[in-house]
Structure 1
Amino acid sequence: MKKSIVLLMLVLVATLVGCGKTEEADSRTLDDFVNAFKDQGYELEVDEPMYSSINAEDGVIFYIDNSPVKIYQYKSSKELESAKKENDMMAEWLQNGKFLLETSSSEAEEIFKSVK
């Protein structure tokens, strides 16, 4: 009887902990963003920026009309928000879920925002 109650309590706790996760899984990748630019007719030479310096998990850099476009990927939007709090400069950069855009190109901003 005691074992049944303990087991029931464990199942209940595990269920409640699982329900506490409110952030939806973001299955998009950096390739999705790069492909969005390619779909708009841009020919890109993609490289890696120093993404670890802003606590990102991954990143890409390419150029549009000699203007750098950097897209950073974080493990979650929550981690991205935490990184933005640590670096005031990042507060101005555009966010799309767990991805962050660093650029001065308005064209790049529009394409970045369009990726769903």
Structure 2
Amino acid sequence: MKKFWSGLLIVCLLLVFSGCSSSNETDDLTMDKFIEAFNNSGEDISSGMSSDEKDFVDKEKKPMYQMIGAKDGVIFDIGKDVVKLYEYESNAKIKKAVKSFDPLMEDWPIRGKFILETHNEKAIEIFNNVK
């Protein structure tokens, strides 16, 4: 009988720990990971810097992210196209914003707490491939 209860306890503990440790890959996404991906993409990125400086995404150059309920954002150009990356507090807040600003935001790609505003196909590809 003692072995039965010990075995049952071990099975229960395994179920509890396996359920608590599961995480979604989008939970690991950060603004820095997206910026690094764009900086390392080899694309012609411009943040309005002088031509003497290396082109990269400037984290300090911000769009008006508060107007769509985001908590942070960055803006830069790839080639001649504007790219805006917004970060929300949660995926639920993104869904609420998309619903509020429908149809403006309905086609913007979403990954976890992040949403991308651009028509540049390369930027969308980079955004979708960030790990």
TM-score range, shorter chain: 0.7 to 0.9
- The structural deviation recorded for 1:29 is 1.7
Whose helix proportion is higher, 1 or 2?
1
Q: Are positions 1:82 and 2:96 aligned together?
A: yes
| Bigger radius of gyration among the two | 2
Identity between Structure 1 and Structure 2 (%): 42
The match for 1:34 is 35
> Which ranges in structure 1 are unaligned for 5 or more consecutive residues?
1-18
The match for 2:79 is 65
Paired residue type of 1:40:
S
Paired residue type of 1:97:
G
1:108 and 1:44 map into 2 onto residues whose CA distance is: 14
The match for 1:44 is 56
The match for 1:99 is 114
**Root-mean-square deviation over aligned CA pairs:** 2.0
Paired residue type of 1:83:
A
- The structural deviation recorded for 1:80 is 0.6
Query: TM-score, structure 1 length as denominator?
Result: 0.75
- Any idea what SS the aligned residue of 2:106 has? helix
- The structural deviation recorded for 1:68 is 0.4
Contact 1:59 1:73 in 2 (8 A): yes
- Any idea what SS the aligned residue of 1:68 has? strand
Contact 1:44 1:63 in 2 (8 A): no
Task: Output one character per residue of 1:20-64: Cα deviation in whole Å (capped at 9) or x when no partner.
Answer: xxx857232211101001111243242100000000010000000
